[in-house]
Amino acid sequence: MKPFMDENFLLGTEVAQTLYHNYAEKLPIIDYHCHINPKEIAENKRYANITELWLGGDHYKWRAIRSFGIPEEMITGPASDYDKFRMYAKVMPHLIGNPLYHWTHLELKRYFDCDLILNEENCEEIWKLTAEKLQSDDMRTRAIIEKSGVELICTTDDPADTLEWHKVIAADETIKTKVLPAFRPDKCFNINKKGLAAYYEKLGAATGVEIKDTKSLKEALHKSILFFDSMGCRTADHGFDEYPYFTKSSEYAADKAMDAALRSDGADVTPEQLAVFKSEIMRFLASEYNKVGWVMQLHLGVSRNANGRMFAKMGPDTGWDMIGEMSISEIAKLLDAMESDNALPRTLIYSLNPGDNAAIGTMLGCFQTSGDGMPRIMQGSAWWFNDTLDGMKAQMRQLANLSVFGRFTGMLTDSRSFTSYPRHEYFRRILCSVIGEWVEDGLYPCDMDSLAEIVCDVCYNNTKNFFRFYEKK
């Protein structure tokens, strides 16, 4: 029987152990997609307790505690921070097979030097131990980032944002990690939802453009992109929650859809109008991204807010989303339209539905026309409900079967927590495990130079080069 989470955790072969300990373990982290708040970096936040650090806004953990049958008031309600942590500790022993079990104990080890196995009986001891550690300057946000080996972070930012905290960070020479904005224009597309006029007014105020039609919206987005680019932005991220198909579009047709949306606050927008509008704006944005050399990230296959009652009560990003369906062939049509415009940027494709992995793997090969030493498009890491042990292995194997695994861009945290960086360790261990198994099974020679190159590329080099993070413009 193997010991729990020792130095060779998940590393079942000698090759895997060598690749991880000699190469992957100490590589810097480039976290190119996350949801942490740049304000907390600028202000170097100190956390009051482990609940504030771990459970505030973490819908992964909230879903797990709910699934054990704990009442909501003990999760996101008025219960004390200690009682909320106690509920998480109570659930922990039952999370066998869940990545939360591994992530939680990796974080206890890496940040609190704690080898205890969290449960309800020792939660008070761990509460006190972590509370004491959190009072140290070594556990403020900047120190956490630095001790995690994080070289660069991309936050998630709306086109209407002023990026004031990014300006503060950029001006502070004591912050060693590069912190860049990432462009997330989802609200621009939501013409079928309430609040569009108010959002366009905010975007217009930020860019100095009165937004009244598709042309002026494009002008505002163009100005926002130039501003983000001046702040070091190198990527745009899109969540395609309601984009059922791609269709031919024009500014005229998009204007009609936008007009219907503004007159009815989204109520009278048809699915056809939504598709026309989104198709038109996506083609425009792809062209803009291509001009400034950004990577376009597309997140697909989310079915949002399945529990309407709880969504109405608690709002978005509180744990009521699920895996949905989206036609990859329709995404291919979108990419083809961008390609026909000679404006397809470097692109990463993620799907929340693991059933899409094979289709994405075959789609990648249809658009590899860059000829510049990097792929034009690549599949992103196993995302959200898929960043499990089995989910990551399955995604890696499928990608390797159908594309060039050595150009894979590796892991991201997609997290709101500053102690989520051990997810990169988890990924790297799994990566080395999968590669080690291929070598052990005689599917690849035990050429350590080639294997080390693949591991270093997937963990670090490919991300750096694909996003052009350090290229001067």
Give me the residues of the chain with pLDDT under 50, please.
none
The C-alpha angle 357, 343, 155, rounded to 5 degrees, equals 65
pLDDT, tens digit, 9 for 90 and up, residues 23-80:
999 999 999 999 999 999 999 999 999 999 999 989 999 999 999 999 999 999 999 9
Beta bridge partners of 259: none
pLDDT, tens digit, 9 for 90 and up, residues 325-350:
889 999 999 999 999 999 999 999 99
- The 3-class secondary structure across the chain, one letter per residue, is CCCCCCCCCCCCCHHHHHHHHHHHCCCCEEECCCCCCHHHHHCCCCCCCHHHHHCCCCHHHHHHHHHCCCCHHHCCCCCCHHHHHHHHHHHHHHCCCCHHHHHHHHHHHHHHCCCCCCCCCCHHHHHHHHHHHHCCHHHCHHHHHHHCCEEEEECCECCCCCCHHHHHHHHCCCCCCEEECCECCHHHHCCCCCCHHHHHHHHHHHHCCCCCCHHHHHHHHHHHHHHHHHCCCCEEEEEECCCCCCCCCCHHHHHHHHHHHHHHCCCCCCHHHHHHHHHHHHHHHHHHHHHHCCEEEEEECEECCCCHHHHHHHCCCCCCCEECCCCHHHHHHHHHHHHHCCCCCEEEEEECCHHHHHHHHHHHCCCCCCCCCCCCEEECCCCHHHCCHHHHHHHHHHHHHHCCHHHCCCCCCCCCCCCCCHHHHHHHHHHHHHHHHHHHCCCCCCCHHHHHHHHHHHHHHHHHHHCCCCCCC
How far is C-alpha 138 from the chain's CA centre? 26
Question: Which residues, other chains included, contact 427 with Cβ-Cβ below 8 Å and sequence gap of 6+?
Answer: 381, 387, 392, 410, 411
| The amino acid at 420 | S
| Nearest-angstrom CA–CA distance, 261 and 201 | 14
pLDDT of residue 190: 87
CB neighbour class for 244 (10 Å; exposed up to 12, middle 13-18, buried from 19) = middle
The Cβ-side half-sphere exposure at 425, using a 13 Å CA radius, reads 23
Is the CB of residue 301 less than 8 Å from the CB of residue 329? no
CA 80, 83, 89, 94 torsion: positive or negative? negative
